[in-house]
Chain A
Amino acid sequence: MSRIKIQKHKMHQSFGDNLLAVVCYILYALCAIVCIYPFYYIFINTISANDLSARGVILFWPRGVHIQNYISALRTEGLFQAAKISVMRTVLGTVGTVGASAFLGFMFTQENMWHRKLWYRLVVATMYFNAGIIPWYLTMRNLGLTNNFWGYVFPAIVSPFYIILTKTFVESIPKELQEAAQIDGAGIMKIFLRIMLPVIKPIMATIAIFSAVNQWNAFQDTLLLVTDTKLYPLQFILYQYLNQASSLSSLAKNTSSTASLAAAVATTQTATSVRMTVTIIVVLPIMLIYPIFQKYFVKGIMVGAVKG
């Protein structure tokens, strides 16, 4: 009797559990679609016939496939220059940030450094306050870092969060490693370069990914600091394309007389296709590296979680 009751109970439960599972699968499939479809939509539009994509009829699969959009994007003068700037700031900025974070994270574990705690706190405190964008902008202007490529790189070099990450990591390494080298008479730089660097590679990879993504995505510093079009990175060029397009469409909405002009611009190939092509070009590096380095991202945030 009781056995049957238990069985019934179990069956009832497993029905509820199954229902839960089904609902979960459907909901998360929807979430995945919501996250991935927009990129797919933009991509199929860039390889479809431009007159069709301008009319917005390409929804689920490409039609009239061609790669002309990408070829002409590569030939566009301003775009190529912007890509160069984006790549340069990503490479130099990442090297600077990773190098400095590794070095400082290691140095701040050296207990006999003169007033170590004070300097460490001085650096970490900058996570919790900032003077605001205008004083920052005025400082950068005084330093001659407006309209200057190095304005993208220098302010990012010392990043307290990455330093905390490295310091935590270094502290987890047995002290004997460094002590042995010290007894052998190695100087601090030698210990850092020969002994520490190989050991802290995993955390450096994490920081490299974070900082490369940040540099690639950076937009606000260009907005504040740069008016020289030669120094615009891809993100800013894309923003300009978007802005021009939206002013065109709002123009069309406001006055009927200019509507024909805006419509003419829309039908002559570009507006939509250029905008979407640039979007794909800007998003592609992230899309490509992200799945490979996902584990580093996750590791990074976990170390941060332990500390913060």
Chain B
Amino acid sequence: MKEVHFQILNGCPLLRELSILSKLSLSGQGGVSMKIFQNKKKWNSIKLFLFVLPFIALVLVFSYYPLYGWVYAFFDYKPPKPFSINDFVGLKWFKSLVENPIKINQLVQVLKNTFAMSGITLATSWLPMIFAVFMNELRFIPFRKFVQTVTTLPNFISWVLVYSVAYSLFNSTGMANTLLQSLGITTEPILFLQSSTNVWLTMWLWLTWKNLGWSAIMYIAAISGIDDEMYQAARVDGASRMQMIWYITIPSLLPTYFVLLMLSIANFLSNGMEQYYVFQNAFNKETIQVLDLYVYNTAMGSGSYSVSVAISMLKSVVSLILLFFANSMSKLIRGESFL
């Protein structure tokens, strides 16, 4: 009975202060000051929290509150007017994704594009590693520094600028067409950017042009961490440069490669939309539309907000599963997770 009473007292801050005061007369001076000290500590820890509270609020508003928007997938939502409970349509939009052959074909094409682009990226994910390994073979340091600086630069320009570069080089009066015509290979300008063939490949090429140098930096850092004694020992044994690369450098880089591979598996469905948005036009729309772009086009292009939310919801769920899969793979093989 007494314990319960105390608990109630402790639950209420004001009463607790009172109880401390009442104890003041009962117990010795030392114990009380200890209690006040603890209270001050508690207040301090809450004060620390109050300092970060505004930022926590920002996170809640911009990252967590949008999750509530997923309910739009279950309602008939027409943008300007707020939706009510009467507009509840259940799984209608999810069913509508697969209701007729035309829509199924469209979705299949979008998935094909997504899988192809992510697949090509995944299949060539060893390229930055090789790029870093052979860059390490450049013994003339100023040249190596120059190459590293220049090849990382494209990573820091936006996709709009990449498209501008592509447009400048490959439009009908661009560098590529001028060269082809002056060499007499073609007589008519080729409209590279308006073509619908090899879109997956060209998108991968632009992505590689932009990212290769930057992705290699991680491996360059890892290479500089390899113990030099291994190379010295190999040199004494008469190993050639290629042998050193094959038997020392690459095996030392594999753990880094594995982590990055797992991360790109987790991001398999998320190609982002910016690259494909700026490169898309009436001619290549069919083969360039990846999932992220499809979500955008469905909502902003045709105004079907609810369908778009339904698709991105499915995507998020699959992505989360992929993330946990990649994480447990990492745990299984390397014994540590990256989450």
Query: Interface extent on B, as a size class?
Result: 35 or more
Name which of A71-79, A166-174, A195-203, A215-223 contacts chain B.
A215-223
> Given A28-B138, A56-B174, A220-B274, do A132 and B315 touch, yes or no (CB 8 Å)?
yes
Query: Interface extent on A, as a size class?
Result: 35 or more
Q: Taking the complex as formed, is B316 at the interface, i.e. its CB lies under 8 A from any CB of chain A?
A: yes
Residues in A with CB closer than 8 Å to B59 are: 122-123, 126, 158
Residues in B with CB closer than 8 Å to A21 are: 137-139, 241
Assess the B58–A114 pair: CB atoms within 8 A.
Answer: no
* Residue from the list B168, B278, B316, B339 in contact with A275, Cβ < 8 A: B168
- In the assembled complex, the CB of B127 is this many whole angstroms from the nearest CB of chain A, namely 12
Assess the B137–A57 pair: CB atoms within 8 A.
Answer: no
Q: Taking the complex as formed, is B91 at the interface, i.e. its CB lies under 8 A from any CB of chain A?
A: no
- In the assembled complex, the CB of B18 is this many whole angstroms from the nearest CB of chain A, namely 23
Chain A, 284-308, CB within 8 A of any chain B CB: 286-287, 290-291, 294, 297-298, 301-302, 305, 308
Q: Taking the complex as formed, is B193 at the interface, i.e. its CB lies under 8 A from any CB of chain A?
A: yes
Task: Report the separation of the CA atoms of residues A131 and B312 in the bound assembly, to the nearest whole angstrom.
Answer: 8
Task: Report the separation of the CA atoms of residues A246 and B323 in the bound assembly, to the nearest whole angstrom.
Answer: 39
> Given A13-B238, A24-B137, A100-B55, do A35 and B209 touch, yes or no (CB 8 Å)?
yes
Q: Taking the complex as formed, is B253 at the interface, i.e. its CB lies under 8 A from any CB of chain A?
A: no
- In the assembled complex, the CB of A107 is this many whole angstroms from the nearest CB of chain B, namely 5
Task: Report the separation of the CA atoms of residues A287 and B156 in the bound assembly, to the nearest whole angstrom.
Answer: 9
- In the assembled complex, the CB of B149 is this many whole angstroms from the nearest CB of chain A, namely 6
> Given A139-B62, A249-B191, do A242 and B165 touch, yes or no (CB 8 Å)?
no
Q: Taking the complex as formed, is A104 at the interface, i.e. its CB lies under 8 A from any CB of chain B?
A: yes
Assess the A298–B168 pair: CB atoms within 8 A.
Answer: no
- In the assembled complex, the CB of A195 is this many whole angstroms from the nearest CB of chain B, namely 16
- In the assembled complex, the CB of A33 is this many whole angstroms from the nearest CB of chain B, namely 9
Q: Taking the complex as formed, is B147 at the interface, i.e. its CB lies under 8 A from any CB of chain A?
A: yes
Q: Which A-B residue pairs are the 10 nearest by beta carbons? A: A135-B69, A132-B312, A56-B173, A131-B66, A217-B158, A113-B48, A126-B63, A135-B66, A114-B49, A56-B178
Interface residues of A (CB under 8 A from B): 6, 9-10, 13, 16-17, 20-21, 24-25, 27-29, 31-32, 34-36, 38-39, 41-42, 45, 54-57, 59, 100, 103-104, 107-108, 110, 112-116, 119, 122-123, 126, 128-139, 143, 154-155, 157-158, 188-189, 213, 216-220, 223-224, 235-236, 238-239, 242, 245-246, 249-250, 253, 266, 272, 275-276, 279, 282-283, 286-287, 290-291, 294, 297-298, 301-302, 305, 308
